[in-house]
Amino acid sequence: MGMPSRTFTIRQVSERLNITKPTLRFWEKELEGVIVPLRTKGGQRRYTMEDLLMIEEIKRLKQAGLSLR
């Protein structure tokens, strides 16, 4: 199975959404099954546009005062 046509590295997501890389990794771990980036053969994360939309929504909810729970 190949990568979708447009994916983003963790660095690109971090810069684009103004979220630190450690925060992205933490959310992935804490919200198990909600953010599931694709992985390269070397294990590097690759985020789809759908992942970016989900991350943006999580960020918005966090800024509104909701917890990850």
pTM: 0.85
CA atoms of 9 and 11, how far apart (whole Å): 5
Mean pLDDT computed over every residue of the chain: 91
Give the chain's count of helices (H) and strands (E): 3, 2
In three-state secondary structure terms, 27 is: helix
Which H or E run includes 37? none
- What tens digit of pLDDT does each residue of 5-38 get? 799 999 999 999 999 999 999 999 999 899 999 9
Provide the pLDDT confidence category of residue 68 given band limits of 50, 70 and 90. confident
57 versus 69: the higher-pLDDT residue is 57
